[in-house]
Every structure is written in C-alpha cells, then in structure tokens.
C-alpha cells in the first residue's frame, strides 16, 4: 500500500473519515508511488540474484487509492532475503509516518505498508488466493445477491462495477505477471496455423496451439531467463502513424533462426464516397423500407420523406419562403407547418409500387434516370 498521506480517507472504528495528512494526491500519483518502490525492489533483487515469479493485482481502497495484492513463488532459501528487500523499499520513502518522535516504530503503520505471509494450504493454495482478486476485478457474472467476504455490507456486483469503472478511468494495468514468459508471444503463437520447421520454435508453437501453458512456460526458459534472452521474441516493423512519426508495431515473431509474420493483413477505416454505386443502393433500400411502413395518408408519407435528411438529401415539402421544414429525424414534436399537400412530392397514386417509384424519382433525379433507362 502507498504511504498514508496518499490516502484521502482513513479508518476510524467502523467508519471512514477525512485524513488530515492527505497531500491531495490522486490515484495515479499513489500508483506511481507503488511502481517506484517495486522498481527499486526489482533492481535490488536482480543484483542479489533472487529468482522468483508470480503475479500482482491492483484494486482500489474505499477512497479510490490503489493497493496491490500479489502471489510469488520463491525458493525456500531465498524467502527471507525476498521479504527483507520488499519490506525495505516499501518503508524507504515517507518513513516519517512509520516512527514516533521518540524513534519508536509504529508497527500498525508498517504493516499497512506491506504485509507478507506464506501460503496456508489449509485455507487454499496460491492459485485460490489470487483467483479471488482476479474474479473481483473482471466482471459481475453470477454474483447477484452475494456479499464481499471482507465486508458483509458490500454487494459484490456493485463492487465489481465500481472497480471496473475506476481502472478504466485511470488506465491502470490491473493484472501483471512477473518473471514469466510473455503472454503476448503466447497469443501471437496461437495465430500461426501452419506448421514450422520442427525445432524449438515448432515445439513452443505446438504448446501454445494446444493451450498447454505449462509446456510453453518450460520451453520458453521458465522463470529464470530475462525477456531479452527468451528463445522467441516479438518481431516489430516500423511504420508511420497519422502524424508521420515512425512507430514500432508488432508484425510477428522471431527466434531460433526463424521469423514468422502473424499480422500480414493491414486493416484501415475507409470512408466511402457519397457518389459510389453501393452507397446509392443503400439509400434506395433505406428509402424503400421507410415508405413500405407508411400508411396511405399523404401527410404520413411526406413526413417519412422528410426524414431522409439524415441520408444526405434535402428535406421535402419545404416552401421557398415561410412555412416549416421537415425534420432530419423520424420524430417531430413541433407544430406542423402550413405547406399544402399539393406542393409536396407525393402524388395521389393508388398502387404502392408506382408511389415508391415516383417518390424515388422526385428525391433522387439521378436514380430516377437509372430506373427509366437502366444501364
């Protein structure tokens, strides 16, 4: 957990009250504080030669201040060093909160910064521990009526909804693995359908294709290798973005003498020209659908014709001066104008097909010519 001055609220008995020592920091600043402590610990652990791997989850306190939960696998002979280093860097900054004026430690404040426990298998294993926090941060599926184990007053559906909104508002990476093979490489491997030359690359691809993460984990070097030393890494290509800047984009995978492109197709949003044949066809279909649901009353049909404004055409039934124009939406709650029906484009024709044809001719002259003289 971040230092106490990063928390807007503090607990007072069963309730939360304003923290007089709050420095006005937002959740992003508190999260940066945690990341800095972790970066320093990680560097010190690498210098000390500690081998560990695991996962961390970030979630908010009641006041929105982020805190981390983690589960890590550490060799038995390195547990003490791991614990000591992590505690050291969590207590390194803002340590005036951790001691009294006489220099005595505030044990409760120290425990609030970092609390490390060994997994108690009588309560469940490491997976069960972290699964709780993952499930509380993804969705509220089938959680109706259930309460949080930490507080009987908290509804789980409301909790998950609030946490999701919080993480998206501040763009926090809620779940992050530590010292494990890249999940992005795993996903890119699963995009490769063709068999590769039978070597280490193909073994790793088969493990990913079969969905066996344990085999993928082992073939990629386990938890002891750094990412730059993994047998397979992401392959990037440089391309220009919308601002003509050169940026790196994932194009495939490379390793053990093989490079495989996984993203050969280029996707882009392209706006169709207004005058294209396909667009005109869509307009006609939409127009016909609107007229088909109209009643035989001329004023009803006229209102529907007026709603074609959203398709890019001028509204019908408008006078050169005075009167009211038809709206660009399908609903008009305003008082109708005094434009006589004989001035509108809807003639008194009995048959439905003739009426549709005449309406199309009056709205889109080009289409009217195509109807009379098909290409």
- Report whether pLDDT(224) > 70: yes
Going by C-alpha positions, the residue among 345, 330, 324 that lies closest to residue 293 is 330
pLDDT band of 111, cuts 50, 70, 90 = very high
Please state the length of the chain. 375
Stronger pLDDT, 305 or 200, i.e. the higher one:
200
Summarize the confidence of residues 28-44 as an average pLDDT.
Answer: 96
pLDDT category, 346, cuts 50, 70, 90?
A: very low
pLDDT surpasses 70 at 262: yes
pTM score, whole prediction: 0.65
Tens-digit pLDDT profile for residues 174-189: 999 999 999 999 999 9
Tally Cβ neighbours within 10 Å of residue 44.
Answer: 15
The conformation of residue 105, written as its DSSP 8-state character, comes to B
> pLDDT category, 41, cuts 50, 70, 90?
very high
DSSP calls for 310-336? GGT-PPSS--SSSS-PPPSSS---SPP
> Which active-site residues does the annotation give?
129, 133
Higher-confidence position of 68 and 300: 68
Q: Which pair of structure tokens corresponds to residue 159?
A: 């909790």
**Rg of the Cα atoms in the chain:** 33
Task: Tell me how far CA of residue 263 lies from CA of 260, 266, 278, 314, 342, in angstroms.
Answer: 9, 8, 29, 44, 60
For the chain, what are the domain ranges? 4-178, 183-261, 277-372
Q: How confident is the model at residue 148 (pLDDT cuts 50, 70, 90)?
A: low
Q: Are 60 and 163 in contact (CB under 8 A)?
A: yes
Distance CA 282, CA 287 (A): 8
Which residue, chain included where needed, has tokens 């508002």?
A: 169
What would the two tokens of residue 367 be? 């289409």
Summarised one tens digit per residue, pLDDT across range 19-35 is 999 999 999 999 999 99
pLDDT number for residue 221: 93
Instruction: State both tokens at 130.
Output: 């972290």
Instruction: Report the distance separating Cα 312 and Cα 301, nearest Å.
Output: 18
């Amino acid at each position: 957990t971040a230092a106490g001055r990063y928390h807007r609220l503090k607990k007072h008995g069963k309730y939360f009250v304003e923290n007089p020592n709050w420095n006005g920091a937002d959740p992003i600043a508190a999260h940066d504080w945690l990341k800095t402590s972790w970066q320093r610990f990680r560097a010190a652990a690498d210098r000390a030669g500690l081998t560990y791997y695991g996962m961390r989850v970030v979630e908010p306190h009641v006041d929105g201040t982020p805190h981390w939960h983690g589960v890590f696998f550490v060799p038995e002979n390195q547990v003490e060093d791991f614990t000591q280093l992590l505690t050291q860097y969590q207590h390194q900054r803002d340590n005036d909160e951790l001691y009294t004026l006489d220099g005595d430690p505030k044990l409760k404040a120290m425990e609030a910064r970092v609390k490390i426990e060994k997994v108690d298998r009588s309560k469940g294993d490491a997976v069960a521990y972290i699964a709780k926090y993952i499930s509380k941060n993804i969705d509220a599926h089938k959680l109706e009526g259930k309460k949080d184990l930490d507080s009987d007053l908290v509804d789980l559906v409301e909790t998950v909804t609030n946490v999701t909104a919080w993480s998206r508002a501040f763009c926090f990476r809620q779940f992050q693995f530590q010292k494990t093979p890249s999940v992005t490489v795993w996903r890119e491997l699963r995009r490769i359908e063709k068999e590769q030359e039978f070597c280490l690359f193909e073994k790793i691809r088969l493990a990913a294709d079969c969905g066996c993460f344990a085999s993928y984990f082992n073939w990629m070097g386990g938890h002891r290798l750094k990412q730059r030393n993994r047998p397979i890494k992401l392959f990037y290509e440089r391309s220009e973005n919308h601002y003509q800047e050169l940026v790196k984009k994932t194009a495939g995978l490379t390793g053990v003498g093989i490079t495989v492109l996984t993203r050969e197709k280029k996707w882009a949003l392209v706006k169709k020209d207004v005058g294209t044949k396909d667009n005109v066809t869509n307009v006609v279909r939409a127009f016909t659908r609107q007229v088909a649901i109209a009643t035989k009353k001329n004023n009803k049909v006229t209102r529907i014709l007026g709603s074609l404004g959203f398709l890019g055409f001028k509204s019908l039934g408008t006078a050169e001066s005075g009167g009211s124009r038809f709206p660009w939406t399908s609903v008009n709650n305003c008082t109708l104008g005094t434009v006589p029906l004989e001035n509108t484009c809807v003639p008194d024709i009995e048959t439905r097909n003739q009426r549709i044809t005449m309406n199309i001719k009056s709205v889109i002259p080009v289409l009217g010519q195509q109807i009379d003289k098909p290409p």
